[in-house]
């Protein structure tokens, strides 16, 4: 009898699993492929079907969080110097090639990556990859050009930080509160004294350590197939030798210190009242594609725009806010955050919105306000956004990029539509209940005019 019972329940359990698998919705996959050539260079192709247009980029797994502590900002300085010339291509010649006609070229440095990219017609792709292969191996550095570029970067920092009354070091102070010990607490652009201390030799050492094919990837988005991509990548990058595997050493913050910081910033040049409430997100909440998508759904329903729960209550009903927003910020080597932002309406202060939003909406959100209707609308919106992104190769590329930077499995990213469709309301409620709590709040930032 016991053997029969065991066999029966085994059969029942197996049938249930098969039934659930069969009833999961399968939607069209994103046309993403990935290969790695012999020297370790990863090649990612996202064929969106955009006729005649390709967004091409070469990214390096190095960002400001990899900078030595005596020269924070050196990764960003190196990014600037990559436009100043190589062994076979002068800075002036490079400018003539990439900043003409319908070609758009740019670069940026983040905490975890540096990317150089071009948006162009398909025939230019060969030239774009030739340029990036040249920059990967033959960068030239001279002190005179470097000195001039350091002045440009110093002015860039002053313009973005010291001269902006709304940020004015507030962003940097916020990072210090959110990451107590981690390199994520330092600004990507660095500090003036350390920017000026970047020598050609220090930059050359940084370049040699990180700018190598086995620490890089090529991403091609638009009218391009993997076969076409591999031929061009092999042609331009195949002969570049890989170096010693790069070890990225990071100091990781404690998962949850239990601390909640508050920053109050007033300035006579600030014309609005803006409040940010920041909630910490443990890495276990975004360590795969499904969890990240679930987190994004929860944050968006709660606070992304006028149609969100916070928008409906604070803008439409109470007229306390002019706008609300929600953003998810995840990192490659540490915890992330969800940021809820509010611009106060006339007659409301940050304290007013904080009290009402937290007590009536944010903390009870998962139990009482997260409805099936809102959940289904958000999933539909996310799926529609993916379809819209595929019409623009640059937007599609920037959409895929964070998955590469943060180490997600691109085979899962291919199935993103199906993953989103099969997320359940209970999945989102579990995330929201764990995330939006008083104990999990990490930071409150209030910018307002000086009274």
Instruction: Name the one residue in this structure whose structure tokens are 């638009």.
Output: 222
Predicted confidence at residue 18, as pLDDT, reads 45
* Measured CA angle at 88 (ends 84, 94), to 5 deg: 40
Full set of structural domains in the chain with CATH: 32-237 (3.30.830.10), 261-449 (3.30.830.10)
Of 331, 191, 325, the residue nearest 248 (C-alpha): 331
Q: According to the 3-state scheme, what is the secondary structure of 75-132? A: HHHHHHHCCCEECCCEHHHHHHHHCCCCCEEEEEECCCCEEEEEEEEHHHHHHHHHHH
Q: What separation in angstroms does the CA of 78 have from each of 57, 81, 360?
A: 17, 5, 48
Q: Is 305 helix (H, G, I), strand (E, B) or coil?
A: coil
The DSSP annotation for 197-258 comes to: T--HHHHHHHHHHH-SGGGEEEEEEES--HHHHHHHHHHHHTTSPP-SPP----PPPPS---
Say which residues have a Cβ less than 8 Å from residue 49's Cβ, sequence separation at least 6.
31, 223, 390
Q: What is the pLDDT of residue 7?
A: 44
pLDDT of residue 320: 98
Give per-residue pLDDT as tens, 139-172.
999 899 999 999 999 999 988 887 776 776 899 9
Mark the ranges of the chain whose per-residue pLDDT is less than 70: 1-23, 101, 165, 168
* 373 membership: H or E segment, kind and range: helix 372-389
């Amino acid at each position: 009898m016991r053997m029969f019972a065991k066999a029966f329940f085994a059969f029942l359990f197996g049938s249930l699993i098969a039934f659930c698998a069969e009833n999961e919705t399968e939607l069209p996959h994103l046309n993403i492929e990935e290969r790695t050539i012999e020297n370790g260079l990863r090649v990612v192709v996202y064929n969106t079907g955009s006729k005649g247009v390709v967004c091409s980029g070469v990214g390096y797994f190095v960002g400001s969080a990899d900078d030595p502590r005596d020269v924070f900002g050196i990764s960003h300085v190196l990014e600037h110097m990559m436009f100043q010339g190589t062994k076979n291509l002068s800075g002036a010649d490079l400018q003539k090639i990439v900043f003409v006609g319908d070609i758009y070229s740019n670069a940026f440095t983040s905490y975890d990556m540096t990317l150089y990219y071009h948006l162009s017609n398909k025939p230019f792709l060969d030239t774009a990859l030739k340029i990036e292969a040249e920059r990967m191996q033959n960068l030239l550095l001279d002190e005179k050009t470097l000195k001039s570029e350091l002045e440009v970067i110093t002015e860039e920092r002053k313009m973005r930080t010291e001269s902006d009354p709304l940020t004015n070091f507030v962003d940097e102070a916020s990072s210090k509160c959110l990451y107590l010990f981690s390199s994520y607490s330092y600004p990507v652009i660095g500090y003036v004294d350390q920017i000026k201390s970047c020598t050609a030799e220090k930059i050359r050492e940084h370049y040699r350590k990180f700018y190598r094919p086995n620490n890089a990837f090529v991403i091609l988005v638009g009218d391009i197939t993997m076969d076409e991509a591999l031929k061009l990548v092999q042609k331009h990058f195949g002969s570049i030798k890989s170096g010693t595997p790069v070890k990225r050493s990071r100091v990781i913050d404690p998962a949850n210190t239990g601390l909640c910081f508050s920053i109050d910033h007033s300035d006579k040049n600030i014309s609005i009242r803006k409040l940010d409430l920041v909630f910490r997100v443990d890495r276990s909440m975004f360590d795969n594609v499904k969890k990240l998508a679930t987190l994004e759904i929860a944050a968006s329903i709660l606070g992304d725009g006028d149609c969100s729960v916070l928008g409906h209550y604070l803008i439409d009903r109470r007229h306390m806010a002019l706008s609300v927003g929600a953003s998810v910020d995840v990192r490659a080597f540490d915890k992330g955050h969800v940021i809820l932002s509010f611009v106060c309406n006339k007659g409301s202060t940050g304290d007013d919105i904080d009290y009402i939003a937290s007590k009536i909406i944010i903390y009870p959100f998962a139990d009482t306000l997260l409805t099936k209707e809102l959940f289904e609308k958000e999933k539909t919106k996310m799926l529609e956004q993916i379809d819209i992104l595929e019409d623009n190769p640059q937007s599609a590329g920037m959409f895929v990029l964070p998955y590469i930077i943060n180490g997600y499995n691109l085979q899962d990213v291919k199935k993103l539509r199906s993953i989103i469709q099969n997320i359940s309301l209970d999945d989102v409620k579990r995330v929201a209940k764990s995330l939006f709590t008083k104990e999990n709040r990490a930071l409150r930032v209030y910018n307002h005019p000086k009274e």
